[in-house]
A and B are shown apart, each in its own frame.
Chain A
């Protein structure tokens, strides 16, 4: 059928959780997607009359997926108007995933900056479900201000996961904030890591990932065991439209997750 590659399924919004003043998590019931959803993948969501937007999957359920959306562009601002039981278009899942299965028995280090924590959250969920198969779970998460921290209601749950650590930081505190102040990389030097047996999954603004990777390498983690997830303008999601290219890669298909050694020669090249 012509145009079949752009066909979406109808998703029904079952729950909306306000994370911050400009971020909400939408729990969507949807059936008949392309395949099993894996941590790190994204969907392309469609709002009638508006258009499509690629959004990472922040929670994976049997028939339900969560998408955490920041209201920042034309389409994402339309998400503000959505209410429970509204319908949206969903196509996907697209892209590769965090290679979590390949790193069983290792310590898992998750580093998220801002909304970048969203595609990392399914790893936390995955490790929790298969707890005995993984070593330590360390989560570093930074946001601009305490008001910008998302998934706050789940922090306690993260902390309760056996053998886990959650370290938070904000760039600028407020009167109530008692935690660390500074960018997320300031959390790295004090960490006690089992360097030989740690894999790092990183997502956030490019500048944050750039310095995070540097600090991780300084700490002794090899580039082959650092994974980053890239953002690009992804319009088609299937490697056709050309917008999401970085060097020879189509981020929507060859990524969004890259082992650092693979993307290194392009990542960090100015305005590539």
Chain B
């Protein structure tokens, strides 16, 4: 069911090999794109500028488990700790300078032409979410970085231990929000276009259409991947059900292990909270600096006259219910793409899938 959408868009699936992926890479590079893609950096796969497709970790696998991440030799990787939001919504940046007379020196940032190359379906979905959360609601910086974005997504043929994109409806096959997708099948590369721009570029590569046998293999591989990337809950009515536990004592239990470090919100591709502070310089100006904030920090809900979430369990509830419940009423979508980063990078290995399951169980047993 997760490969629904077939027959495929316009051009359909076309077939090539690694050299054609290199041609696509080169075409984008020659078209002036700064290509950002997965690259091994120390012991992690990071999203970084790729000079050549040779830097793409083709023979690497990332072993992920709750609170665990190791790179090893292999044939497929998923993601690292950083996500596209790093480029569209930088972790820390100057908004403008305020001079001593309170006049403002606005920034001029050069046109940015980024192509994400080889991000997965979950991360592609996260961009669609951020478009709504930051873009549509008027964040000028996001719009600037997003404007010329080109997205090449790799369909996820081997989801990892912590992946649950198929439960969130965001993968493993990319459905929307991309320009070109590619899939590694049997040593071949299957390409698909997701936008008019994508169609035009694929036409230039002049690749043959995939035959029925390969298309069938494509479906089988992605069906199998979809089965693997499942959590033990359904997206349907998830938001409404979880909110029934809003006053449940279960939050205290769930947050017992939580350190309140905020790692989950930093690695989450859709967490968007930020704060702005003044960085003062001796030569009589002050920078207004925007930086990622986290609802797990003590001061997130603190005001001078009091505190709205003084204990950690309340902040844990805010995070989980925001992602899975409130988000739906705010943006008519959920705030989780099932990428599993919050599970992998939690220093104590708290598993959001298990937390959601526990809350649902509590609702089943206690709300009647």
Contact = CB atoms under 8 A, between A and B. Distances in A.
Interface in B266-280: 272-278, 280
A3 B106 contact: yes
A233 B141 contact: no
B96 A6 contact: yes
Contacts of B144: 2
A67 interface: no
Given A3-B95, A233-B301, A248-B329, A240 B293 contact: no
A87 B102 contact: yes
Contacts of B286: 48-49
Interface in B303-317: 303-306, 308-311, 314
Given A48-B286, A233-B300, A245 B109 contact: no
Interface string B219-236: 000000000000000000
Nearest to A6: B95
A87 to B, nearest CB: 5
A72 interface: yes
Interface in B108-156: 108-109, 134, 137-141, 144
Interface string B263-298: 000000000111111101000001010000101000
Contact of A247 (B138, B310, B311, B326): B326
B106 A48 contact: no
B180 to A, nearest CB: 29
B227 to A, nearest CB: 33
A122 to B, nearest CB: 21
Interface residues of B: mostly helix, strand, loop or mixed? mixed
Interface residues of A, number: 44
Contacts of A266: 246
A236 interface: yes
Given A50-B278, A240-B134, A245-B322, A5 B330 contact: no
B274 A242 contact: yes
B247 interface: yes
A106 interface: no
A46 B286 CA distance: 12
B318 interface: yes
Contact of B278 (A51, A72, A272): A51
A4 B300 CA distance: 24
B293 A49 contact: no
A49 B137 contact: no
Given A87-B102, A236-B276, A248-B326, A6 B288 contact: yes
Interface string A77-100: 000000000011100000000000
Interface in A224-249: 231-233, 235-236, 238-243, 245, 247-248
Contacts of A74: 304
Nearest to A246: B308
Interface of B: 95-96, 98, 100-102, 104, 106-109, 134, 137-141, 144, 246-247, 272-278, 280, 286, 288, 293, 295, 299-306, 308-311, 314, 318, 322, 325-326, 328-330
Interface of A: 1-8, 10, 46, 48-52, 70, 72-74, 76, 87-89, 205, 231-233, 235-236, 238-243, 245, 247-248, 250, 266, 269-272
17 contacts: A5-B139, A7-B104, A8-B104, A49-B278, A72-B305, A231-B303, A233-B300, A238-B137, A238-B138, A240-B274, A241-B276, A243-B293, A248-B329, A269-B246, A270-B247, A271-B309, A272-B314
Given A7-B96, A248-B325, 15 more contacts: A1-B140, A2-B95, A2-B140, A2-B141, A3-B95, A3-B96, A5-B140, A52-B276, A70-B305, A72-B305, A73-B304, A76-B304, A242-B274, A242-B295, A271-B309
